[in-house]
Structure 1
Amino acid sequence: MNRSVFSFNDKVDRIVLKPVATAYRNVVPDAVQKGVNNFFGNLGDVWSTVNNALAGRRQETGDSISRVVVNSTVGVLGIFDVASDMKIPRHKADFGTTLGRWGVKPGPYVVLPVLGPATLREVAALPVDYKASLTNQFTEAATRDTLTLLNIVSTRARYLGASDTADGAALDAYSFIRDAYLQRQRYIQYDGNPPDAEPPADEEPDLNDNGEVR
């Protein structure tokens, strides 16, 4: 099932997301793209602040608060990432990360339609992350949808180079993306200092087109 959903997502990406993101990267000035990325990064720092606080991480919470205050004021609503220039580190955290720090295991690796790779823990956290997203706090649907779409396109544009590298280097794109995702989740979970690797999360048997275990 995971591979089937991955194949579907790949087609959607190649037909819709990648062309739009490529056009965005080629047409929109670099300074504007950077400002857009910084703006959404600042919104993400607000939610990271909450989750670092929920996990009882005082230093990370303080850094996150400092980033939000500096970038929202001096950085003009986050358009300029002044906090990074001041060497204030970013500590990304969503509710899935918080659950992990509370001791909840990642669970099986899954691939969600359109949304992409996740673990069962991340799936359980999705409703909370969605509800808490600052872009979803706008009552006007047009504004909310525009910001959501802009965030998706700008995020995809940032990873154009990485996806091209993956396409060229990976003999098995599914396994490459899965391993990269799980590694990144561990990196975020331990704030860049993960312990020795744990065994990969259990998932459904990896079957080929004939239904045989690979």
Structure 2
Amino acid sequence: MPQSRNGFIQRLARLSLCAGVAMVPMAVQAAEDDPWESINRPIFRFNDLVDTYTLKPIAQGYQFIAPQFVEDGVHNFFNNIGDVGNLANNVLQAKPHAAGVDTARLIVNTTFGLLGFVDVGTRMGLQRSDEDFGQTLGYWGVGSGPYVVLPLFGPSTVRDTFAKYPDSYTTPWRYVDHVPTRNSALGVNLIDTRASLLSAERLVTGDKYTFIRNAYLQNREFKVKDGQVEDDF
């Protein structure tokens, strides 16, 4: 009996050692990607608190009240505006085919799609891009830099943070002088974006901060490399 117990303890010790060794690369990678975690976590908690008591309830109420066709129309409208940024960044990334698709989408959705409320382009086989200046910088070899959590804006990197300013030039809000109109449009866009993320919350497991950080970084790498990423394993 003692020998059996000793054997079990030895096997358990070996398994624990193997698990610890396997976790070392993950811990090292996390330290490299997120050296400012001690600052990021409090900001994340603040953002999560604001979201829990303001944005999320408003988004849930919006989904409860608005008919599905209204939600789809509003979402399509803001996507159509976003295609301007997609076009600009595809041009900057020297992707003529993608830029041509963006141009065609803007034309058909703005005209036949009633200012974008109906996504005619997708029905015609013109698939939407998802580009921004952060991806453009990454495309030309600019590193992402450390992971950062921005107050109210959420997950980002140093590269993506600086890229937000050039991206603002491709949005119409920058050129709207009427403050109530501009703020109302920004508010509706924010609510639409938050509502579109409600269903994704069911995917969050374990430590929420770590899950969102890893998901964000992996998603950004996937987008910058246009899906040509190597499996870590």
More helix by share: 2
Q: Which residue of structure 1 lines up, in the alignment, with residue 59 of structure 2?
A: 21
Q: Which of 185, 188, 195 is equivalent to 2:229? A: 195
Distance 2:54 2:199 in 1: 17
1:129 paired with 2:167, answer: yes
Taking only aligned residues, the RMSD between alpha carbons, in angstroms, comes to 1.5
Q: How does 1:159-178 map to 2 (within 5 A)?
A: 159-166=197-204, 170-178=205-213
Distance 2:169 2:103 in 1: 21
Q: Which residue of structure 2 lines up, in the alignment, with residue 184 of structure 1?
A: 219
Deviations, residues 167-206 of structure 1 (Å, cap 9, x unaligned): xxx1100110011111211222233x222157xxxxxxxx
Q: Which residue of structure 2 lines up, in the alignment, with residue 156 of structure 1?
A: 194
Q: Which residue of structure 2 lines up, in the alignment, with residue 54 of structure 1?
A: 92
Q: Which of 102, 107, 112 is equivalent to 1:69? A: 107
Point out where structure 2 has 5 or more consecutive residues left out of the alignment: 1-38
Distance 1:37 1:62 in 2: 22
Distance 1:163 1:90 in 2: 24
The AA in structure 2 aligned to 1:174 is Y
1:80 paired with 2:89, answer: no
Q: Which residue of structure 1 lines up, in the alignment, with residue 28 of structure 2?
A: none
Q: Which residue of structure 2 lines up, in the alignment, with residue 208 of structure 1?
A: none
Give, in angstroms, the shift of residue 136 of structure 1: 2.5
Q: 1:173 to 1:72 in 2, by over 3 A?
A: same
Q: Which residue of structure 2 lines up, in the alignment, with residue 35 of structure 1?
A: 73
Q: Which residue of structure 1 lines up, in the alignment, with residue 50 of structure 2?
A: 12
Give, in angstroms, the shift of residue 165 of structure 1: 3.4
Moved over 6 A (4+): none
**Matched-pair identity in %:** 41
Q: Which residue of structure 2 lines up, in the alignment, with residue 119 of structure 1?
A: 157
Q: Which residue of structure 2 lines up, in the alignment, with residue 45 of structure 1?
A: 83
Distance 1:187 1:78 in 2: 27
SS at match of 2:169: helix
Q: TM-score, normalised by structure 2?
A: 0.80
Contact 1:47–1:94 (8 Å) recurs in 2: yes
SS at match of 1:76: coil
Q: Which residue of structure 2 lines up, in the alignment, with residue 99 of structure 1?
A: 137
Q: TM-score, normalised by structure 1?
A: 0.87
Higher-Rg member (1/2): 2
Q: How many residues align structurally? A: 195
Distance 1:100 1:75 in 2: 33
Contact 2:84–2:170 (8 Å) recurs in 1: no
Deviations, residues 47-71 of structure 1 (Å, cap 9, x unaligned): 1101100111111111111111111
Point out where structure 1 has 5 or more consecutive residues left out of the alignment: 199-214
Distance 2:109 2:160 in 1: 28
SS at match of 2:156: strand
Contact 2:222–2:229 (8 Å) recurs in 1: no
Give, in angstroms, the shift of residue 25 of structure 1: 0.4
